[in-house]
Every structure is written in C-alpha cells, then in structure tokens.
Homo-oligomer: A and B are copies of this chain.
C-alpha cells in the first residue's frame, strides 16, 4: 500500500476501479493535442525563418537597386542644360534614392544581425512595426519619385536621345525595381506584424 496508484488499480471494488479507468483517458488525451501543438509551432518557426530570409534578400536587392539609382542620377552631369540638378524631378529622384539606400542598408544590417544573434523578445513587436511602416512609406516615396521623373524624361526623349536622357531612364528603372522589391517586403513585414501579437 506504499503506491496509491497501484493500490487503486489492484482494488476489486466498483468505486476505486471506476476511478482507475479515468487516469488512462486523462493521460492519453493530451498526447495528440501536444503533438499537434508542437508540429504547428515548428511549422510556424520554419515559415518565420523563410519570411526572415525572404525579407532580408528583398531588402538586399532594394539596397543595391537604390544605390545604383543614386549613383547614376548623381553622376548625370553632362554640362549646360544636361545637368540633373536643373530639374526638380531629378533632384527629387536623387533625394529619394539616397533615403532608400540609407533605409534599406540599415535595415539589411539590422536583419543580418538578428539572424546570427539571439533575438530580443521585447523589441520584436516594435521592430516589426518599424519594418512595416518604413517599407510601406519608402515604397510610396519610390513610386512617387519614379512617377515624377517619367513625364519629364519622356518629353526630353521626344526631342532627342543622348547620354543624359539615357542615364535618367536607367536611374528611373532602377528606382522602379527598388520599389517593386520594397513593396513585396512591405507585404511580408505587414504579415509578420499582424501575426506577431498572437505569440
């Protein structure tokens, strides 16, 4: 009579034997629930890792593209009227390309750090918020600068094609591809932000 469980199982009375049937059901029940919980958590982790890598790659591409746009626009000086800084559209394009280069560069660095180091749980929600707002605002700014620069370039190229208009066109397309990658990144970080609160 040292082990109470054993005593209950070997007891022939109706009362304790009815009690003895409950423990197996009570023990077996949690097992599938636990298995389901663990597998859904690992699936979640895998999905989050995929998203983290995906958004890091998207930001890396956006960084390269906006750096290219920045360099091409800034070096687009061919003398006389063919200087980018005579036109507010190109100055706007340059300003947004610089902003986007800085933003995506810093974001890529932060996310590379986050991949190697242990994450801080407390800051995750704030950083997800910053990611989403930053990506969204930056992609609106990029599409805005591209749209402002296109009509001017169009009008110039109706007259003639030269190194100046070609450089402008390539800077515009670089900014546009940077916009595309950042727009995708904004969707991913929006998803991450909205699922963050349920952890």
A-side interface residues toward B, CB under 8 Å? Answer: 1, 4-5, 7-8, 11, 13-16, 18-20, 22-23, 26, 88-89, 136, 139-140, 143-148, 150-152, 154, 183, 187, 190-191, 194-195, 198
Task: Give bound CA distance, A143 to B15, whole Å.
Answer: 75
Report whether B26 and A15 are in contact in the complex, using a CB–CB cutoff of 8 Å. Answer: no
Among A8, A11, A16, A198, residue most surrounded by chain B Cβ atoms (within 10 Å): A16
Main secondary structure of the interface of A (DSSP, over half): helix
Q: Which of B16, B150, B195 contacts A19 (CB 8 A)?
A: B16
Report whether A7 and B15 are in contact in the complex, using a CB–CB cutoff of 8 Å. Answer: yes
A88: which B residues are within 8 A, CB to CB? 151, 154
A187: which B residues are within 8 A, CB to CB? 136, 190
A15: which B residues are within 8 A, CB to CB? 1, 4-5, 7-8, 11, 16
Among A140, A147, A187, residue most surrounded by chain B Cβ atoms (within 10 Å): A147
Q: Which of B89, B140, B144, B191 contacts A194 (CB 8 A)?
A: B191
Quote the shortest CB–CB distance from A54 to chain B (angstroms).
Answer: 15
